[in-house]
Structure formats: structure tokens, C-alpha cells
Amino acid sequence: MNNEILLGLRKIKGISDYQFGIDITDILFDEIDNIRIERSKNTNKIRYIYYKNSLMLALRPTNGLFTLSLFSAKKIIENTQTPRLRAIILTEVSDFIRKGRNAFCKHIVNIDHTLRTLDEVIVVNQKDELLGIGRLKIPIPYIKTFKTGIAVNIRKGVQLKD
């Protein structure tokens, strides 16, 4: 690997360590030979991270943090214990989340207590099946006490293309 690729890998691993934790970085970047970095044509800044031909992460230019893809969410689910990076919702509302609808506080059964507002969240049902990915809308203590309101803004449901 050339020096530019190594510097790019070092940067994205650093961001991932900060955002998700070292354990998740190790899961996502377990085979660095299959990692491909795509840069913006205009700014030459890192924009997308691919594992082979599957989009794994996108770097948000507004805050410099990653958004998860359905591919990376599956990889995290397969290699971590529940509820790591997850919001677990009632199985009865699974179809709504799959279609990309938001997850409401009253539907959250369990959630990773280390998550903070605006963090990336993997939404699963009670069987730990991937339903969608999104961003946490409110702090965890409020999710437990509120009976109304959106807990997770779903960015992509599994029925939508990745």
C-alpha cells in the first residue's frame, strides 16, 4: 500500500475509534486489503469507505463523522452482543421501520446506554433482525420515560436500496 492510502486508513480508523469504539473499528476494518476509500472529486477529501464493492461508511462533511450503511450494520450485528449500538424495538412495528419510518419512544424495548444524542443507531427487532439505520434523536433517559415522540430518525430501512 502506498503512503496516501495508509494515511487515509489511519484517519478513518481514528474517526471510527472515536465514534464507535475500538471494538467496532476492529470489526469494520478486519480485512484492510479489501477496504477502498473514495474521495470527493471537488475537494479530494475522504467521502466513502467500501468493503470490496459494498458501501460500508460515508463521511458526513458537516461534522466529520460516519454514517452507517446497512452492510456495516449487518457486520456489527453479527459480531457484537445485543444491545451494542442498537435500539431494540417491539417486533410488532418491524414492518414500519423496514419501510423507513421513524422509531417512537413507546416502541423501544431496549437500547445501548452508551449512545448519545445524534449518534448512529442500528434498529433491530426483539429477534435481533436488522430493520434500519438512523440517528438517535433524544437522550436515553428520556426514551425510557416518554410515551410519545420520535426516539430514532430512520435514515434507511432494509426494504429501501442501500
Strand partners, 135: 120, 153
Is 142 part of any domain?
yes
Q: Are residues 153 and 92 in the same domain?
A: yes
Total count of domains within the chain:
2
pLDDT tens digit sequence for 68-121: 999 999 999 999 999 999 999 999 999 999 999 999 999 999 999 999 999 999
CATH assignment of the domain containing 91: 2.30.130.10
- For 125-149, the pLDDT digits (tens) are 999 999 999 999 999 999 989 989 9
pLDDT digit string, tens, across residues 17-64: 999 999 999 999 998 888 999 999 998 899 999 999 999 999 998 899
105 and 130 fall within a common domain: yes
For residue 148, is it within any domain? yes
d(C-alpha 77, C-alpha 27), whole Å:
10
Q: Are residues 115 and 153 in the same domain?
A: yes
Q: CATH number of the domain that 17 lies in?
A: 3.10.450.90
pLDDT (0 to 100) of residue 162: 46
The confidence score (pLDDT) of residue 112 equals: 95
Within this chain, do residues 22 and 48 fall inside the same structural domain, yes or no?
yes
Domain boundary among 40, 68, 96: 68
Q: What range defines the domain where residue 34 resides?
A: 3-68
Q: Which residues of 7-42 are buried (b: 16+ CB within 10 A; e: fewer)?
A: ebbeebbebbeebbeeebbebbbeeeeebebeeeee
Q: The pTM is what?
A: 0.90
Per the domain annotation, does 123 fall within a domain? yes
- With bands split at pLDDT 50, 70 and 90, how would you rate the model's confidence at 6? confident
- Tell the residue number behind the cell numbers 479489501, with chain if given: 34
Backbone angles phi, psi at 39, to 5 degrees: -105, 155
